Amino acid sequence: MRFSDFHPRLAALGAQPAHRGRVMRAWLSGQAFDTDTWRRRFDNYLPLALRDALPALASELDGLARVHSEHAGNDGARLLLALADGQMVESVLLPRGGLCVSTQVGCAVGCRFCMTGKSGLIRQVTSMEILAQFVLARRQRAVKKVVFMGMGEPAHNLDNVLEAIDLLGTEGNIGHKNLVFSTVGDRRVFDALPQQRVKPALALSLHTTKADLRRHLLPRAPQITPEELVELGEAYARDTGYPVQYQWTLLKGVNDGDDELDAIERLLKGKFGVLNVIPFNSLEGDDYQRPDTDRIREIVRTLHRRGVLTKVRNSAGQDVDGGCGQLRARAVGAEQVVQLRRRALGTTLEAAR
């Protein structure tokens, strides 16, 4: 179900724009709007046909996604959600009221260091399924920020993602700068986002300053150089007033060398953004490894000294073997996915934050 499909259904029940807004605001706030209490409260404000249809509508909306399992971790709870057709996606309740949502079942980009990419793209997640992730989270706690950084590449599901962002930034009462669109870099994004009523903040998956290495690490990402990606991101950041978050998954011996640090300084110094370095979530038998803690500290200190704002971000859920894509991989029993091994994170990275 997409919102663009749901909207005419409400209109067919006699709902005017004000009525439709009231129903969507109630759902996005986490209210069970088919209860007698809710119906009595708004009995005089909704058309009779719409009031009579509320129980069935509420049941259908609740069926969009349900919690299959919940995994509490030190950095928040990771939710494995079952969609109506049996496919599964992940969302994460992040610290300080944040929520990470998925936009696809699987992903077509095939990043070599990403568990989600190992499954390939299975299907798109509709705008209402994206919003359902938000509703399930709000029924557990307050949500003040939504990041589109879960399973999938949002740029490959652009219509559904933009539709969800528009609803969250209007009826969902989420501040526009607290909606974060993450992408490997697709020119369609830079054409579309400035035209939107709700303009989200931007997170760009950079990962290296070397064009050939980036093509290797992100084999099916759009062919765009790191320099062009930063240039496009900088223009959008200056236009919206929201700094870009540049994402950099740290891979030992691959993109953690001094040559990369020199190039990062040339590329990002003076830019309106922040570099988030994300130490690789090591998987047993995988081709990549997490850099040593001392090296991570050194990278952050060096970049700070050179004028590049840098923060360490761990992939949420690593302490419960719940980094992005791991829960779904275990749940579906994908034989091609490597076996997972928990690695103790400890608190040694705190000094580098």
Catalytic residues: 90, 324
CA 353, CA 312: separation in Å to the nearest integer?
5
Q: How many other CB atoms are there within 10 angstroms of residue 202's CB atom?
A: 23
Q: Which amino acid is at 291?
A: P
Contacts (Cβ under 8 Å, ≥6 apart) of 202: 180, 181, 182, 183, 189, 193, 233, 236, 237, 240, 242, 244, 245
Q: How many other CB atoms are there within 10 angstroms of residue 352's CB atom?
A: 19
Helices (H) and strands (E) in the chain, counts: 12, 12
Helix, strand and coil percent figures for the chain, each rounded to 5: 45, 20, 40
66 has which bridge partners? 82
Contacts (Cβ under 8 Å, ≥6 apart) of 220: 108, 109, 110
CA 49, CA 54: separation in Å to the nearest integer?
9
